[in-house]
Structure 1
Amino acid sequence: MGKEIVKKVCELLKDVRNQKPLVHNITNYVTVNDCANILLAMGVSPIMADDIKESADITKISDALVINIGTLNERTIESMIASGKKANELNIPVVFDPVGSGASEFRNSTTKRILEEVRIDVLRGNMSEIKFISGLESTTKGVDASESDMKSGNEEGINVAKNLANKLNCIVAITGVTDIVSDGKRTVMLANGTKMLANVTGTGCMTSALIGGACGATNDYFIGAIAGIVSMGIAGEISFEKSGEIGLGSFRVGIIDAISNMNSDVIINMVKVQEI
């Protein structure tokens, strides 16, 4: 286990609660409430401003920006680009969640434009989305990864993450049964979580929000990405243990409860991380 990585994750999550970073989310209307609540549970101040008249101004006063194209529309694309450019200008970290990339030409062209016009610090997606962005053959199931892509081996995922991280000069995080995070040189596999997370709308979006929250309190976005993903995986395990048999509604609420109670002891006792 990467003891030094775990130590840094624990320290970062403490810093998040102490600093209470302001995180600007231009996200989708299906999951916006859950993203806001899970950030509050993390100790972060969330703000959701997607109108072009104010989006860049809000980013200017924020500690991190999260861009999510889940419910894509022409109006918010310009807000995403303007906010991303403002974040780049001020060295504010940008997390990009390319939801459904590969599913439609509109999503594909928007993803390409964002990656061309905005410097991304953390790119988080499922295997289908990341393979598509890498220029590899992939299939999607709407906004979810296809079964064939989900069956991609860890070795393939590691190579995809490393290569894309080097190509885009950013952190690449592939989330799935096993999560992979790479900056092109450092790579880890994370094995926390439960299959039930896939049955709740927005757990991927919430993970990206958590990454934004963590990156808003550090300059080490590699550790920030790991902290966000580990927090969601462990929260899913805790909620499943307490609420899994009750049903999906209780499980969803339990995730936010677990994030609100996340601490170093919980992480140290439960984290499953392997350095590559």
Structure 2
Amino acid sequence: MSMITVSWDDPVVRDRLGRIRQQAPFIYGVTNYVAATLSANVLLAVGAAPAIGTAPGWPEAFGASAAAVWINTAALISTSEKDMLHVAACARDAGVPWVLDPVAFGAGSAEYDRIVRRLLDFAPAVIRGNASELMALAGGDAGGKGVETTHGSDDALRHIQALAARSGAVVAVSGATDYIASGSKVFVVTGGDVRLTRVTGAGCALGALIAAFLPVCDTAVDAACGAHATYAAAAERAGRHAVGTGAFGVGLLDELSVLAGLQ
């Protein structure tokens, strides 16, 4: 197994973030209402143009015309199964790359898990999540505690490789260390700040950021690595100044905008 470290110091990461600012790609998301505001603000902070939700006609119009799409499956708290699957189908049929975030998969709801598994049929370019979610999606017994993980990212390493091989997607697990699996390679991103786990929607917003990187990168693995490295750098910088989790959440957006040159 080849392991390659990626960080904000890599010129290619900085270049791709600059391309987002220059191109302002339209990124369409289906996500839960808890995470929607932070996800939209993360995209705006780096220069992307977001739309979120499944208003009438949006799955067809936006799913097929966006530069990239992300689907956070916790959107099912307010979005129908039909609409969510339709967004994925429209993106796949139009050749639009999309990100799957299987929030709370394996946490105990068989009906919910069935819907999430159906999304794998629509060829996501990237699957990202926490360790428990991805271990369960790979076929392991790793039920999470609601939407929270009960495992560390190191525990998920062999599982994300297996899931990447089976699905054909790039698979990224976030944690104290982030790992991104693609083929026989695993990319490693360190840094960040533990307060990412204490701000509602911070993990969900990372899926949106990966989607923003997809249209400006040559490959899906480059997009996942670029987003993880950028997010880790912004979180680390925000953590140097924040006195609490509220200030950290605002600081994360500030630092993303600084990294993107939009301060």
Q: Give your verdict on TM over 0.5.
A: yes
Determine helix, strand or coil for the equivalent of 1:261. Answer: helix
Write out per-residue CA displacement over residues 69-121 of structure 1, whole angstroms, 9 at most, x where no aligned residue.
124247432222111111111211110000000121232111111112x1110
For 1:68 and 1:263, the matched residues in 2 are separated by 24
- Residue 263 of structure 2 is aligned to residue 259 of structure 1: no
Following superposition of structure 1 onto structure 2, how do residues 57-206 of structure 1 map, counting pairs within 5 Å?
57-73=61-77, 75-103=79-107, 104-116=109-121, 118-146=122-150, 149-150=151-152, 154=154, 156-206=155-205
For 1:85 and 1:74, the matched residues in 2 are separated by 19
Identity of aligned residues (%): 28
Give the AA of the match of 2:112. Answer: R
Give the AA of the match of 2:256. Answer: I
Determine helix, strand or coil for the equivalent of 1:251. Answer: helix
- Runs ≥4 residues deviating over 4 A: none
Give the AA of the match of 1:192. Answer: G
Determine helix, strand or coil for the equivalent of 1:140. Answer: coil
Following superposition of structure 1 onto structure 2, how do residues 214-253 of structure 1 map, counting pairs within 5 Å?
214-243=213-242, 245=243, 247-253=244-250
Q: 1:163 to 1:52 in 2, by over 3 A?
A: farther
TM-score under structure 1 length normalisation: 0.87
Q: Is the 8 A contact 1:95 1:123 kept in 2?
A: yes
Write out per-residue CA displacement over residues 180-216 of structure 1, whole angstroms, 9 at most, x where no aligned residue.
0011222111111111111111110111110011113
The gaps in structure 1 that reach 5 residues or longer are 265-276
For 1:12 and 1:110, the matched residues in 2 are separated by 33
The gaps in structure 2 that reach 5 residues or longer are none
For 1:204 and 1:35, the matched residues in 2 are separated by 9
TM-score under structure 2 length normalisation: 0.91
Q: Is the 8 A contact 1:52 1:78 kept in 2?
A: no
Give the AA of the match of 1:250. Answer: A
Determine helix, strand or coil for the equivalent of 2:44. Answer: helix
> How far off its partner does 1:45 sit?
0.3
Give the AA of the match of 1:248. Answer: T
Q: Is the 8 A contact 1:100 1:140 kept in 2?
A: yes
For 1:51 and 1:224, the matched residues in 2 are separated by 28
Superposed CA RMSD in Å reads 2.0
Query: Which residue does 1:38 correspond to in 2?
Result: 42
Determine helix, strand or coil for the equivalent of 2:179. Answer: strand
For 2:34 and 2:58, the matched residues in 1 are separated by 22
Q: 1:42 to 1:263 in 2, by over 3 A?
A: closer
For 1:30 and 1:205, the matched residues in 2 are separated by 10
For 1:122 and 1:9, the matched residues in 2 are separated by 17
> How far off its partner does 1:159 sit?
1.9
> How far off its partner does 1:65 sit?
0.5
Alignment length (residue pairs): 256
> How far off its partner does 1:253 sit?
0.5
For 2:40 and 2:6, the matched residues in 1 are separated by 30
For 2:258 and 2:16, the matched residues in 1 are separated by 15
For 1:215 and 1:52, the matched residues in 2 are separated by 26
Q: Is the 8 A contact 1:34 1:206 kept in 2?
A: yes
Q: Is the 8 A contact 2:59 2:90 kept in 1?
A: no
For 1:214 and 1:99, the matched residues in 2 are separated by 21
